[in-house]
Structures are given as structure tokens and as C-alpha cells.
Amino acid sequence: MKTALRTCLLLACIALLTPAFAARPPTQHAVQNAEHSLTLWSRVPHRPTHAILLVHGRTWSALPDFDLQVAAKNRSVMQALVARGYATYAIDLRGYGATRRNADGWNTPNQAAADIAIVLQWIAQRHPKLAKPSLLGWSMGSALAQLAAQQHPALLSDLILYGYPRDPGATPPIPPTPATPPREVNTRERAISDFISPLVTSQALIDTYVIAALKADPVRADWKQLEDYRALDPALVKNPTLVIHGNRDPLAPIAAQSRLFVALGNPDKQWVILAGGDHAAMLEDTHEAFIAAVHAFVRRPRLGQ
């Protein structure tokens, strides 16, 4: 009897010490866009109050970016949003994570925007009693989210541009497209490049991210038709928009973010700077501030409510 009691107490202690996020992996879905199957990951509370779609950046897919499992620290964006009532979804774009490449090996911005639109429709059908999903893009994903919002504004409620890497006042040159996709092998150096400040980033977090990123995306995805991005125009964004970035983010300088914010076409907009954060602020010690800013914007009082 005493042995059984000690065993029960030990199991209870282990349960208390085990992070809740480690108990259950995210749910994997397949969403069809014509002939292509897109992988979508979800974490959904029992009674969601909002829905949100997360779009990853240039090099790494959904799970390293938005569902990172760090020992003794919950840095999963998906879990943090679920705890606040969000039906949370994260897409693997073509050639990333669990979504296969196109037959020719390339993705394009307009194709990615169309895939995002299909997934937004799928989420809305899954949650018919909720408002249209919010759309959050990080880094390159923020440019793709903007492109999707310009092309399909009725499919989303709010737009969140995080770590936006483009300057609306500049027209960067389009690099030449190789004859075949390079399929570069991803590296540890690439995985650590977004973590700049040791003041907000532990080595343990970086090491965990490197392992997760290289496991999910051992080969770099390839893009062409980058001239699609020239359609980006903040004035054409009609959805309420949050611009958010870390103040140490070299890809989101203040002057460029200011031009983006001022030009946005909907007056219902906010701009949040995460003090101390860099390009990966959602994973660093600025994680809670990032989640709080997103939640405050989505839950803000609105005219007529």
C-alpha cells in the first residue's frame, strides 16, 4: 500500500514538473488547394473566442517558429494564444515543413498568397460562429500576409505584420532566378541568425531552436517571381492592422516601419515596438510582451460595439 502511495505521489510530482505543452503535439491537417495538399497545424481550446492564422518566415516552417518547445519555458506562440481563447493555426507553405514542393521546385509570392486565402476560408468554415480569422505573418510571412489581405480582404478580420522586412519607400532590385531551384542545405548559422541580443535570448533557447529548425527544414525552400511583391502597397490594406517588431530588429528599422504604418489604408491601426526584442522577439524573453500586444489588438474595443 505504501509503495503504491509513493508511486502515485511520484507520478503526480512528475506531472506537475512536466510542461503542459509537452503532453500533446499540435494537430496536423491537410488543406487542398487544387492539386496541392497544404499542411496546417492547430491548437484549439474547447471554446474558442477568436481564430488566428500564423504565417512563418523565409527559411523556417511553422513549428519551429510558432510552437517551439523549450525546457522550463513555454515559448510556443500557439500555446500562449490557445490559453487566451484563440483557435490557433499555423501553415507550412509549399516546400516548408510537412508541405511538399511544387513539381517544378519553386514557390511564388502570389501562389503563397492564394494558399493563405484557401486556408483562411477553411478556418472560417471550421469556426462559423466566430469572426473571420485574424492573420499574422512574421518576416517574409508578413509580406505574404499583406499580399493575401490586399487580394482577399473579406477573408480576414485583423492583419498583424510582425518583423516586416520591406521598406514601402524603396524598390529593391529583383535578383535573377536560377535555371533550377538551388535546394541549398540549411545551416546552424542560418538558424541562429535571427537571435541578436544575449540580453533576451538564452543559449538553451537558441540550441533548441536550431535542432527544431534543421529537423523541420533541412533544405532551404526556393522562390521565384519575386516581382509579385511589387504589388504590395500599404494604402491598399483595408483591414485593421497591427505593426509590431523588436526595437533591435535590423530587418525592421524604425524609419521603414514608420512609412509602412503611416501609409496603411485603414485608420484602425496600431504600432507596437517590443523593447529589447530583435527579429525573433516572439521566442525570446519578449515572448509575453509579444503575445500581450497581439491579444490586446485583437480584443480591442471597436466602433459600434
Do the Cβ atoms of 131 and 72 come closer than 8 Å? Answer: no
Instruction: Quote the cell numbers at residue 226.
Output: 519575386
Which residue type is seen at 186?
N
Which DSSP string corresponds to 115-151? HHHHHHHHHHHH-TTSPPPEEEEETHHHHHHHHHHHH
Distance (Å, rounded) from C-alpha 71 to C-alpha 284? 13
The pLDDT tens digits of the residues spanning 31-77 come to 999 999 999 999 999 999 999 999 999 999 999 999 999 987 889 99
CATH number of 27-298: 3.40.50.1820
In the chain, where are the structural domains located? 27-298
Share of residues in the chain with pLDDT > 70 (%): 92
The reported pTM is 0.92
β 50-55/134-138 pair status: parallel
Tell me, what's the pLDDT at 26? 98
Nearest residue to 104 (alpha-carbon basis) of 213, 177, 174:
177
Q: What is the mean pLDDT of residues 224-232?
A: 97
Which DSSP string corresponds to 37-88? EEEEEEE--SS-SEEEEEE--SSS-HHHHHS-EETTEE--HHHHHHHTTEEE
Instruction: Quote the cell numbers at residue 239.
Output: 483591414
